[in-house]
């Protein structure tokens, strides 16, 4: 998915978990210091975080878990994720 942006001169970084989570940062300026997880991320394999620095400004993109029903395992995971963030 990055190719059209790159051909147009943009810097692109992306991450994702096939058929589930995904996000990107597209910038007209060079992206530096890119990271795909954060300290304490309860499950980095879910690929819910991407960050990069553009012209000295830190850009952070986060895909927050849905959480489903209150009290469910998915909801407990969401709370752990938000607490770690």
Q: What is the pLDDT of residue 20?
A: 82
Domain map (residue ranges) of the chain:
3-84
Q: What percentage of the chain has pLDDT greater than the value 90?
A: 82
The CB-based long-range contact list for 79-83 (8 Å cut-off, 24+ gap) reads 80/42, 81/41, 81/42, 81/43, 81/48
Burial class (CB in 10 A: 0-12, 13-18, 19+), 4: exposed
**Residue 17 above 90 pLDDT?**
no
Q: What is the mean pLDDT of residues 19-48?
A: 93
21 band by pLDDT with thresholds 50, 70 and 90? confident
30 band by pLDDT with thresholds 50, 70 and 90? very high
- For the segment 51-79, what is each residue's pLDDT rounded down to a tens digit? 999 999 999 999 999 989 999 999 999 99
**Residue 26 above 90 pLDDT?**
yes
CB 7 within 8 A of CB 19: no
């Amino acid at each position: 998915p990055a190719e059209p942006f790159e051909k147009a001169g943009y810097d692109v970084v992306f991450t994702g978990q096939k058929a589930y989570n995904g996000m990107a940062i597209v910038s007209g300026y060079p992206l530096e210091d890119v990271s795909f997880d954060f300290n304490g991320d309860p499950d980095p394999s879910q690929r819910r975080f991407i960050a990069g620095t553009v012209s000295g400004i830190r850009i952070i993109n986060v895909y927050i878990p849905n959480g489903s029903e209150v009290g469910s395992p998915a909801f407990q995971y969401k709370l752990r994720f938000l607490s770690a963030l």
